[in-house]
Structure 1
Amino acid sequence: MTLVIDRGRDGPRIHVLVIGVGLYRHLPGGEEPVPGGVLNLKQITSPPVSALQMAEWLANSLNHPEASFGTLEMLLSPAQPVSLNDDPPKEVSVPNRQEVTRAFRAWKERCNTNERNVAIFYFCGHGVEKESQYLLLEDFGATADDLLENALDIRVAYDGMSRCRSKFQYFFIDACREIPFLLLKQLDGGPLKLIVPTDEGERRLNSMLLIATPFGRRAFGKQGEVSRFTGALLDALKGSGARQINGRWKVGCAGLHAAMSGHLRSDDPYVFMAPEMRLIGQDPMHVCSSPPTVPVTIECDPDAANEYANFALVSSQGAVSPWVRPKAAGKWNLVVPADVYTLSVEFSGGEYRQLEQPIVIWPPPPSEHKVVVL
């Protein structure tokens, strides 16, 4: 049994399936390693950590405008007990072909009970690309006769879920998309297709397939830490992907993608990641309980004026205690709630002209403001 949370299934509910594959049975270091390895792949430690943090945020913080939280099912390798919300630990199954098939179909049936239900699928682990993107399950590599036997075709699964009554569906895929030469040589294969599409047409009002990296590229994560993609996803959901709509800060799919693209930007081409998205609809996925916080840098032009500047930042709410920085060398770096502010710059010695001006500090970060004081 891998149903970690069950808060009910009556009315519109959020139903989540989280999969993290960090230990592969047939890779070097696994229980049944294949001599010579499989596609030069190694064990990875980021997926279980990433999956657990993603599950915890979804269960405790997700505020979807259409539904309350219902169920969370998890599959993890290495196998481990999972406890969320201080509940007693529950053993979860490993994400092999059999367990993923069972869990996915049970999840789909829960999502199918109400058209206002919200379906969320998250995967973190190894992935490869050929005709589609294939997510490698815990028992991947069991036989060289069919490398894709224990791999999930995620694009078929996403397209097939249009058959589900749930009108709100979100798929987050944290996996590589490299194209192994040995896989190209394989002319056919049997990837797992859990729910195949039909000709009934698209019925979803809002859906998103968000993939960590472009075609042919790698996804990255440090050993034992949350992956870059999942870290960016959580930051975006917490508020960096939010937009103010009718006085509320809401995270929609487009804002989520824009914020994550900024978080994942890198000058190093080796770790370049640009998430790819397929999107239907524009409704928000999450409504923030308070304005998101935004890191901001404020500086003077010319740069030499920074060491003489006294900065003060006052929110539109007229905070009793404004943010202030007495004169000091360098830029002013701080983190503030998203708002329209009044910025004051004073020079007690009269070195430059004083001024006061409005500035908008909204997500996505980074927010940078240069004040011309000549």
Structure 2
Amino acid sequence: MHAFVVGVAHYPYVGKGLGTGPARRLLDDLGQVTVPEPSAREIAEWLLTAPRQPDDPPIGTVEVLISAPHPVKVRASGGAPVEVESAVHENFRAAFRRWLRRCEASRDNVAIFYFCGHGWRHGDQLLLLEDLGEDPELVLANSVDLGVLRARMHLTGPRLQAYFVDACREVPMDLTLSGSRPRALVDVPEPDGPLHPVDAPVFFSTAMGHSAFGDGGAATPYTEGVIAALEGLGACRKGGQWAVTTSSLAAHLQNIIDWNQVGEGNQEVRIEGQWAGRGVLHSLAGAPMVPFRIGCSPPGTPLPERVTARAMISPSPVSSVQVFEANQGHLSAGFYEIDVAYPPDSRFTGDTILWQIDPPNEVLSLTVRSRLPDRS
């Protein structure tokens, strides 16, 4: 597995009144952002430290570029933090070529690309690098056309590729008026025959024409969701074990983000690109731990005082019993008998239920009844 991780949290040429006409309006519409630094660092460190199972391709290399107002260091497994280069166009172009060369060494490699920073939509997705607007007359020169990058990877890259883009996808009218284009990263030759099939989804953090989400100096909800999904909440059963595939990640990522942002917003993940859904991005050593919450019916009935979960393994229950005195927690994926308890003086009681706990999360829906009066 070869990864390329980019975060841009420093744009020295935006909001300075540089240039004229469309270029000036484009640059002045952008502001400084803080979330790409922690987001890219967390992704890079997860890739460098996450345990890999015997069936997984080992981590080969992780190219990291992060721009911030200060030097940025990334910690690898068992090593001292390493300072990384900034995400200016020259560095991006060199790192992309190194990544491409490593990826295309074998069709059996796995290619991972992650970007967090400003973005626009202009034909395809544009990724805006630190030195955007260095020359206002060529305002888009220091941006990256994701479509061109992906086209080059499709020609000679691995069968399995995954792209994660945490950036705005708004479509400013001034992009068309500016007449500027991104500088070339690499030549994209005409194919000399049919393209080989690839499993290469693009996981966008937001819908086309919309802004991305992020607040403060912490990693974005999208990035936290991607990491949680890769760690196991995006997994499915595959060949007798749990694994995160491109299709299971696609099915679960939105639910993971929604679960962590209850009542907070309407971030909508969009998945594009060419993908078959069978590629394995990460295998697990065992069943994932799945978050759950308790829900009661009818609405308005009180939550129980205690929840007991008994693991069931055919043909008989095992002795594994977990007791929760809160109305949320984590259970290993599997089949459970769920029992609830109310205080002795409560007029409510609940039925025992059987429930299959599966990733990415579960709401255990309890039917609550009024306790029959004591007739003794």
Superposition TM-score, scaled by structure 2 size: 0.83
Is 1:51 matched with 2:40?
yes
1:68 partner SS? coil
**Residue of structure 2 in register with 1:334 after alignment:** 329
From 217, 227, 230, the counterpart of 1:234: 227
Instruction: Check the 8 A contact 2:230/2:244 in 1, yes or no.
Output: yes
Alpha-carbon distance in 1 for matches of 2:356, 2:179: 55
Alpha-carbon distance in 2 for matches of 1:124, 1:226: 10
- Within-5 A mapping of 1:351-362: 355-362=351-358
Greater mean alpha carbon deviation, residues 196-205 or residues 134-143: 196-205
Q: Which amino acid aligns with 1:220?
A: F
In structure 2, the CA distance between the partners of 1:158 and 1:345, relative to structure 1 (3 Å rule), is: same
From 114, 124, 142, the counterpart of 2:134: 142
**Residue of structure 2 in register with 1:278 after alignment:** 273
**Residue of structure 1 in register with 2:248 after alignment:** 255
**Residue of structure 1 in register with 2:289 after alignment:** 293
Deviations 1:164-208 (A, max 9, x none): 242221111111111123213224534545352633433244222
From 12, 31, 38, the counterpart of 1:42: 31
Using the aligned pairs only, state the percent identity: 27
Is 1:74 matched with 2:64?
yes
Instruction: Check the 8 A contact 1:67/1:118 in 2, yes or no.
Output: yes
Q: Which amino acid aligns with 2:322?
A: W
Alpha-carbon distance in 2 for matches of 1:39, 1:307: 51
1:42 partner SS? coil
5+ residue gaps, structure 1, are 1-13
Greater mean alpha carbon deviation, residues 40-49 or residues 158-167: 158-167
Greater mean alpha carbon deviation, residues 261-270 or residues 279-288: 261-270
Is 1:211 matched with 2:200?
no
Is 1:21 matched with 2:8?
yes
5+ residue gaps, structure 2, are 371-376
In structure 2, the CA distance between the partners of 1:201 and 1:150, relative to structure 1 (3 Å rule), is: farther
Query: How many Å apart are 1:134 and its aligned residue?
Result: 0.4
1:322 partner SS? strand
**Residue of structure 2 in register with 1:369 after alignment:** 365
Greater mean alpha carbon deviation, residues 137-146 or residues 100-109: 137-146
Alpha-carbon distance in 2 for matches of 1:356, 1:268: 29
Alpha-carbon distance in 2 for matches of 1:242, 1:142: 43
Q: Which amino acid aligns with 1:105?
A: R
Query: How many Å apart are 1:145 and its aligned residue?
Result: 1.9
In structure 2, the CA distance between the partners of 1:151 and 1:252, relative to structure 1 (3 Å rule), is: same
Instruction: Check the 8 A contact 1:123/1:173 in 2, yes or no.
Output: yes
- Within-5 A mapping of 1:189-228: 189-196=181-188, 198-199=190-191, 200-228=193-221
CA RMSD of aligned residues (A): 2.9
2:10 partner SS? coil
In structure 2, the CA distance between the partners of 1:366 and 1:187, relative to structure 1 (3 Å rule), is: farther
In structure 2, the CA distance between the partners of 1:180 and 1:296, relative to structure 1 (3 Å rule), is: same
Q: Which amino acid aligns with 1:70?
A: G
Q: Which amino acid aligns with 2:243?
A: K
Alpha-carbon distance in 2 for matches of 1:239, 1:306: 32
Instruction: Check the 8 A contact 1:166/1:204 in 2, yes or no.
Output: no
| Aligned residues between the structures | 354
**Residue of structure 2 in register with 1:324 after alignment:** 323
Is 1:344 matched with 2:331?
no
- Within-5 A mapping of 1:302-317: 302=298, 306=302, 311-317=307-313
2:352 partner SS? strand
Alpha-carbon distance in 1 for matches of 2:212, 2:275: 24
Is 1:121 matched with 2:120?
no
Alpha-carbon distance in 1 for matches of 2:151, 2:62: 22
Alpha-carbon distance in 2 for matches of 1:254, 1:360: 21
Alpha-carbon distance in 1 for matches of 2:346, 2:214: 50
Alpha-carbon distance in 2 for matches of 1:307, 1:205: 48
1:221 partner SS? coil
Instruction: Check the 8 A contact 1:346/1:355 in 2, yes or no.
Output: no
Instruction: Check the 8 A contact 2:9/2:34 in 1, yes or no.
Output: yes
In structure 2, the CA distance between the partners of 1:352 and 1:77, relative to structure 1 (3 Å rule), is: closer
Alpha-carbon distance in 2 for matches of 1:267, 1:66: 34
